[in-house]
Amino acid sequence: MQELYDDISFRTSKLITSSYSTSFSSAVSFLDDDIQNAIYSIYGFVRLADEIVDSFHEFNKQLLLQNFERDYYDALENGISLNPALNSFQQTVLKYNITDDLIQSFLNSMKTDLSKSDHNSKSETDEYIYGSAEVVGLMCLKVFVNGEETLYNELKEPARRLGAAFQKVNFLRDIKNDIQNLNRKYFHNTINRQFDETVKEEIVNDIIADFEFSLTGLRKLPQNSKRGVLIAYYYYLNLLKKIRKTPASKLLEKRIRVKDSVKLLILFKAIIVTKLNLI
C-alpha cells in the first residue's frame, strides 16, 4: 500500500502547485511525464516553507519553520513522512541526488525572512536571491539532467541566473505587498531611496541581463524539459515587460498580472518554437 501513499503524496504536491500557481503548473505540465512529479514535489516543498514565513501571521512562524525543517530531515532519514509534500520531496532528493547545501541555502533564506526586513547591500540581496530562488532552479536542473554531472555543471550558472530573474520579477510584481504588508525591502536599490522610475529601470535592466544570459543555458537543456522551461521564461519575460510599462507609483498600488489570453499565446509560442527547433 506504500505505492498508493506515494502516489497520493505526489498528487498532493501537484495540487499545491496548481492551487498556488496556475502559470507554473501549466509550464510543468509540458515537461516529460517522467519528471513532472519531481518538479511538483520541489515546488510543494518550497511553497510550504514560503507560506510559513509569508502567510501564517497568527502562528509562531519560527517554530513552524523549525518543525518543517526537522520533519524534512526525519523523512530523509526514515524514507517516509506523514506530510505528503515532504514524503514526495524526500524521494525526489534521493532519486536525483539533490545536495543538502541547496536545501540548506533555501531554508536559510526563509529564516532570513523571519529576522530581517531590509537587504541593505547588493551582496545581501544576492545572497537572499541565491537561497530563495537560484537554488530552486538548481534543484530542478538536477532533475532535468538526471545525473549527468558534466551537463549540470555546464548549465549551472544559466539556471541560477534564470532563477534570479524569476525571483526579481516576483519582487517587482509584489512590491506593494512586500513593503506595505510584510515590511520588507528585498532590493538594496530601494534602501534610503524612493522607488521611482530611475530605481525601477535599474532593477529592470539587471533582470534583462539575467534573462539574456540564462537563454544560453536554456538552448542546451535536454528535450525532456526545454518546452516547459521556455513557457516559464516567456511568461516571466512578458510580465517584466508589463511591469516596465507600468509607472513605479502604480506598482505600489496594484499587483500586475498577465491575462489568460496572453498566457495561451505564450503556450502556443513555446510549442511552435520548440517543435520547429528554433531555440
Q: What is the CATH number assigned to the segment(s) 1-95?
A: 1.10.600.10
Residue with the bigger pLDDT between 188 and 84: it is 84
Whether 220 shows a pLDDT value over 90: the answer reads yes
pLDDT in the model for residue 193: 87
pLDDT in the model for residue 84: 98
Lowest mean pLDDT segment, chosen from 28-32, 117-121, 145-149, 261-265? 117-121
Q: How confident is the model at residue 37 (pLDDT cuts 50, 70, 90)?
A: very high
Whether 192 shows a pLDDT value over 90: the answer reads no
Whether 71 shows a pLDDT value over 90: the answer reads yes
Mean pLDDT of 165-189: 93
Whether 279 shows a pLDDT value over 90: the answer reads no
Mean pLDDT of 159-187: 94
- Percentage, residues of the chain above pLDDT 90: 92
pLDDT in the model for residue 68: 98
121-279: same fold as 1-95?
Answer: yes
pLDDT in the model for residue 1: 80
Mean pLDDT of 231-259: 96
Q: How confident is the model at residue 82 (pLDDT cuts 50, 70, 90)?
A: very high
Residue-wise DSSP of 1-14: -HHHHHHHHHHHHH
Fold of the 121-279 domain: Farnesyl Diphosphate Synthase (1.10.600)
Q: How confident is the model at residue 4 (pLDDT cuts 50, 70, 90)?
A: very high
pLDDT in the model for residue 26: 94
pLDDT in the model for residue 237: 97
Whether 56 shows a pLDDT value over 90: the answer reads yes
Q: What is the pTM of this model?
A: 0.96
Structural domain boundaries in the chain: 1-95, 121-279
- Percentage, residues of the chain above pLDDT 70: 100
Whether 278 shows a pLDDT value over 90: the answer reads no
Averaged confidence pLDDT in the chain: 96
Whether 120 shows a pLDDT value over 90: the answer reads no
